Amino acid sequence: MILELTQTSTYPWAKWLGDALSVVPGKNLYFGIFLSIIVFLIGQWLFKISNGFFLFQPLFVGMVLGIFVLWLMAKGFHTDIATFYTSAYKPGGDLIFWFLNPATIAFAVPLYERNDIVKRFFVEIFLSLIVGTVISLYAIYYLSRLFGLSAQGIASMLPQAATTAVAMPISTAIGGNAAVTAMACILNAVIIYALANWLIKIFHLNADPIGAGLGLGTAGHTVGSAKALQLGSVQGSMASISVVVISIVVDLVVPPFAHLMGLM
């Protein structure tokens, strides 16, 4: 598929840029990589000069700024943002995205480094994650109904505690929309990365490092685990184990739960 951005542009410079960007998807990786790094660095810079204002978290700024740049460029090329994203940004973005695979595996190291905690609190960790997920499912279900989401919308919300790769197929299986679920998983991570410190403070979560770690890993996936690691080795280790266990718990618990609630 070749997207003809050039024919819809009226300016000569736009024709040149469009030529460079509207290639066979997968060929021009440079734009996606370039934009990702630049917007993230701007985020880091803003975070630094604002003395750590929570809305200027680099990930959040990078996301908003990146989408804004794509929206602006799509406007310039008279195309819609989804098409422009797919043809110009996605090839390079996917390349960076791939490195989340080794980054996820890397959490085995902080997990192993605090294996003493894992061994001692094995039972508590597993029980907390299973019971916590079931309680959260009820809460998310009734919250979704309170806000008047459709059955499809509710089904899309339920699997979000798992990592995206687990949550999407489960969502489809229980009658949800996989794209909405993916969006929820991504926003989970962005929200946790931005608000973790504040949430920990107002809910007094730091009194129990094990609970804080398990919570951050469950709510924020791998990004939450990175955040937990900044708080301490116990938190990081617990968040790492929750990423694995929660995915399996969601696999096992969410389909029967959806059945119970009459969603499927």
Partner 1 sequence: MSQNAKNQTDKNSAVKEEEKDSPVLIQMAIFASILFVSSLISPLFPASFPVPTPVIGLVLLYLLLLTGVVKLHMVKKFAEFMIGLIAFLFVPSGIQLAASLDIMKQQGWQLIIVIILSTIILLVVTAYTTNGFMWLRKHVLHRSTDVE
Using CB under 8 A as the binding rule, the residues of this chain from 57 to 116 that contact partner 1 are 58-60, 62-63, 66-67, 70-71, 81-82, 85-86, 89-90, 93-94, 96-97, 99-113, 115
Q: How far is the CB of 223 from partner 1 (least distance, A)?
A: 5
* Cβ atoms 217, 245 nearer than 8 A: no
Candidates 6, 177, 197, 263: give the one binding partner 1 (CB under 8 A): 177
The residue range among 9-17, 20-28, 185-193, 256-264 that interacts with partner 1, by the rule CB under 8 A, is: 185-193
Q: Buried b / exposed e across 142-166, counting CB within 10 Å, b at 16+? A: eebeeeebebeebbbbbbbbbbbeb
Give the total of residues touching partner 1 (CB under 8 A). 117
Q: Classify residue 133 by burial, with Cβ atoms within 10 Å: 0-12, 13-18, 19+.
A: buried
Comparison of 15 and 191: residue with beta carbon closer to partner 1: 191
Sequence-separated contacts (24+) of 48-57 with Cβ below 8 Å: 54/194, 54/195, 54/197, 54/198, 55/194, 57/193, 57/194
Contacting partner 1 within 20-39 (CB under 8 A): 32, 35-37, 39
Specify the residue, 49 or 82, whose C-beta has the smaller distance to partner 1: 82
Among 6, 15, 153, 175, binds partner 1 (CB under 8 A): 153
Window 187-226: contact mask with partner 1 (x via CB under 8 A) = xxxxxxx-xx--x---x-x-xxxxxx-xxx-xxx-xx-xx
Q: What value does the CA radius of gyration of the chain take, rounded to a whole number of Å?
A: 21
Structure tokens belonging to residue 199: 């949430």
CB of 187 to partner 1, least distance (A): 5
Q: Please state the closest distance from residue 119 (CB atom) to partner 1, in A.
A: 10
CA quadruple 137, 138, 143, 146: dihedral positive or negative? positive
Q: How far is the CB of 210 from partner 1 (least distance, A)?
A: 6
Rounded Cα gap, residues 15 and 10, in angstroms: 7
CB 212 to partner 1: min, Å: 6
CB of 37 to partner 1, least distance (A): 8
Residue listed under structure tokens 């499927």: 264
